[in-house]
Chain A
Amino acid sequence: MGNVTRASADVQVSPVPQEMTGPRGPKPRTVLSRRNIMIYGTLIMVSLYYMLPLYVMIVTSLKGMPEIRLGNIFSPPVEITFQPWVKAWAEACTGLNCDGLSRGFFNSVRILIPSVLLSIAIASVNGYALANWRFKGSETFFTILIVGAFIPYQVMIYPIVIMLREVGLYGSLTGLVIVHTIFGMPILTLLFRNYFASVPQELFKAARVDGAGFWGIYFRIMVPMSLPIFVVAMILQVTGIWNDFLFGVIYTKPDLYPMTVQLNNIVNSTQGVKEYNVNMAATILTGLVPLTIYFISGKLFVRGIAAGAVKG
């Protein structure tokens, strides 16, 4: 007992408890600390650097040619005109056609939708099978797929031309859709496989005990759980395919060129004066689709990337 009383007596030495006068509650923060100035200063500088070209594009596209010739690219338009936008969309000439970017837009949509749906559908099933159903040779299959992701496109361009020609799809939209689907496969499969592998194995086991089969588990368990990764895949594919230029030029013909190729043809057309306002409007129009996608799904994108894409 002696020890116990001695120990408890030691604790209360100072008669005035310090905690009555010392700091209390939330720690005060300085708004204009040197650190904050550094952080926000840098952020504002970087934002300006990226926003400036966009600003120039927008104001230029809203000016008439006489105003542009004054040469002051940063000044806002004196007289706002939407004529350049109308021209870019419906009237600008590329080669023989003079119906503006609209033709390219609809070509791109006709390429985009089937390519995105097809590639995501196939890749998600691939990834699911690789992650959850270890079949014979699944490791080998996966390795081949990964190696495929690192082969330079250029190597495959000509063989694919020949293959498409042999099956009679060269120069058609169907051919281009197939090309996009194939080229998206390695990275998308990897993406889906990693995401599905991060889904707890016990969930998969529980579903098997509950009598769900390969497709039952895929549609009823995996897909509903994996919205973020589908959004990530969709964004990757939409932007990638929409922005594609090379495959569009190679595997289609002028009537069927996607929007990017048409944009190039408008901007680089050598006849007449350079209509900067029309070029700017055409460029913004072309970039609008990926931009919209980013804005709509920004949050889901970040969540999906964090959840699956980064993990090994």
Chain B
Amino acid sequence: METNQSISIKNLALSFGALDVLKDLNLDVGQGEFLVLLGSSGCGKSTLLNCIAGLLDVSDGQIFIGGRNVTWEEPSERGIGMVFQSYALYPQMTVAGNLSFGLKNAGLPKAEIEERVNRAAKVLQIEPLLSRKPAALSGGQRQRAAIGRALVRDADVFLFDEPLSNLDAKLRADLRVEIKQLHQKLSNTMIYVTHDQIEAMTLADRIAIMRGGQILQLASPNEIYNRPANKYVAEFIGSPTMNFFEGDIVGGDGLRFSTGDQFFPLEGYEFHNGTPVQGPAWFGIRPEHMVTGAEADTAAIRLNGSVELVEPLGSDTLARVAVAGRSLWVRMDGQALVRDGDSVTVGFDPARANLFDKSSENRI
């Protein structure tokens, strides 16, 4: 085993009866890395996390943590701390009791338990709450206490299962920042499950996009955003979702993408592995890579349409524009004065597009 690998999962499979939730899954997580498992509900993220934690018996494969094969080991022996979506604080114990429960089970001396609890409470700023019961805490305080319970274990690996999903938007953003700072301070390995792409993009060193129990792409947030490995990832990341044109890549004088009666020249497009391909394909372009107004006049591709719907967000304005019988989302300046019914010209540079094979839906 390589030494800088914190977690290594080899050919992992797990099934509930006839339902194969995880299939031949391989994953390596580096020491101190913040890995986010991202995917829609039911794709097997929690199942994978529970396998790593030892809360589920795997059907096949191996799990290594810190170079040690822990496949058959109890959760408490794996050197992990875990934080759950529902906080999962023991309701009859105080916050201090919650934090020290695992340490008492491990038989640590009293003085050390106290010291560790106080240290964790200080880091998370929950010192005044130590003597309270969970019922007397707000959602944000509960999740802090739950993180504290993982913290006191001095674990090498932290596992988070959608820890912020039960919080309201403001608190979620605050705690997200705190978790990031915590990682910077502790620099231990973290695996973080979420279905929220904002959380994934902001927190992750690398994101693993999961679907149907498999990892579709494992890459940095930047790579995932700019070079999605397939159409599913391209659609999953970004909001509003990427606009797609269906058509063909055709040759002639330089490669072009033909859709309807339009041709998008592909000179600037960076093909996957540098090998240009021809044939049926999807042409995807993100709403934020489309321009309107004066900028559109100088764009490589210009399309005329009319605004169907406007969503002002303050910082940005999203507009759905009907172009040649199809709808395109466009992200505009927050101060843009557009109203439904307005006719607009949208423009974009095909070099920023993402092309996917029509049948395999993989990046080309």
Task: Show the binding face of A for B, using Cβ within 8 Å.
Answer: 3, 200, 202-203, 205-212, 216, 220-221, 224-225
Contacts and interface: CB of A to CB of B under 8 A. Distances in A.
Interface residues of B, number: 25
28 contacts: A3-B339, A202-B84, A202-B86, A202-B88, A203-B90, A205-B50, A205-B75, A205-B82, A205-B84, A206-B82, A206-B84, A206-B90, A206-B149, A207-B90, A207-B101, A208-B54, A208-B55, A208-B75, A209-B55, A209-B75, A209-B76, A209-B81, A210-B102, A210-B105, A211-B76, A212-B105, A216-B105, A221-B90
B360 interface: no
Interface in B31-62: 50, 53-55
A200 B166 CA distance: 15
Nearest to A206: B88
Considering the complex of A and B, which 9 residue pairs feature the smallest CB-CB distances, nearest first? Answer: A211-B76, A210-B102, A211-B105, A202-B88, A206-B88, A224-B92, A202-B84, A209-B75, A203-B88
Residue in B50, B53, B55 whose Cβ sees the most chain A Cβ within 10 Å: B55
A156 to B, nearest CB: 35
Interface in B80-117: 80-82, 84-86, 88-92, 101-102, 105-106
B296 to A, nearest CB: 23
Nearest to B81: A209
B82 A209 contact: yes
Nearest to A221: B90
For A202, A206, A212, which residue has the most chain B Cβ atoms within 10 angstroms? A206
Nearest to A224: B92
Chief secondary structure at chain A's binding surface = helix
Given A3-B339, A205-B50, A200 B86 contact: yes
Contacts of B102: 209-211
A220 B50 contact: no
Nearest to A226: B92
B98 to A, nearest CB: 9
A211 B75 CA distance: 7
Contacts of B101: 207, 210, 212, 220
A185 to B, nearest CB: 27
Contacts, number: 60
Contacts of B86: 200, 202-203
Contacts of A200: 86, 88
Interface string B136-178: 0000000000000100000000000100000000000000000
Nearest to B90: A221
A49 B263 CA distance: 89
Contacts of B50: 205
A209 B53 contact: yes
B145 to A, nearest CB: 11
A210 B88 contact: no
Contacts of B53: 205, 209
A105 to B, nearest CB: 36
A224 B339 CA distance: 60
Contacts of A203: 86, 88, 90
B12 to A, nearest CB: 19
Contacts of B161: 202
B88 A205 contact: yes
A3 B342 CA distance: 13
Nearest to A203: B88
Nearest to B56: A205
Contacts of B339: 3
A225 B93 CA distance: 10
Contacts of A205: 50, 53, 55, 75, 82, 84, 88
Given A209-B76, A225-B92, A202 B85 contact: yes
A212 B106 CA distance: 9
Contacts of A216: 105
Contacts of A3: 339
Contacts of A208: 54-55, 74-76
A200 B90 CA distance: 11
Contacts of B149: 206, 210
B105 A209 contact: no
A205 B101 CA distance: 13
A110 B105 CA distance: 38
Nearest to A227: B92
Among A200, A205, A209: residue with most chain B CB under 10 A: A209
Nearest to A223: B92
Interface in B233-291: none
Nearest to B86: A202
A56 to B, nearest CB: 46
A297 to B, nearest CB: 19
Contacts of A211: 74-76, 102, 105-106
A205 B161 CA distance: 12
Contacts of B82: 205-206, 209
A78 to B, nearest CB: 56
B50 to A, nearest CB: 7
A3 B339 CA distance: 10
A308 B105 CA distance: 29
Nearest to B82: A209
A216 B106 CA distance: 12
Nearest to A212: B105
Contacts of A212: 101, 105
Contacts of B54: 208
Contacts of B90: 203, 206-207, 220-221, 225
A200 B80 CA distance: 21
Contacts of A207: 90, 101
Nearest to A200: B86
A210 B93 CA distance: 14
A205 B52 CA distance: 13
A225 B339 CA distance: 57
Contacts of B105: 210-212, 216
A202 B84 CA distance: 7
Given A202-B85, A207-B90, A210-B101, 18 more contacts: A3-B339, A202-B88, A202-B161, A203-B88, A205-B50, A205-B53, A206-B88, A206-B89, A208-B54, A208-B74, A208-B75, A209-B82, A210-B76, A211-B105, A211-B106, A212-B101, A220-B101, A225-B90
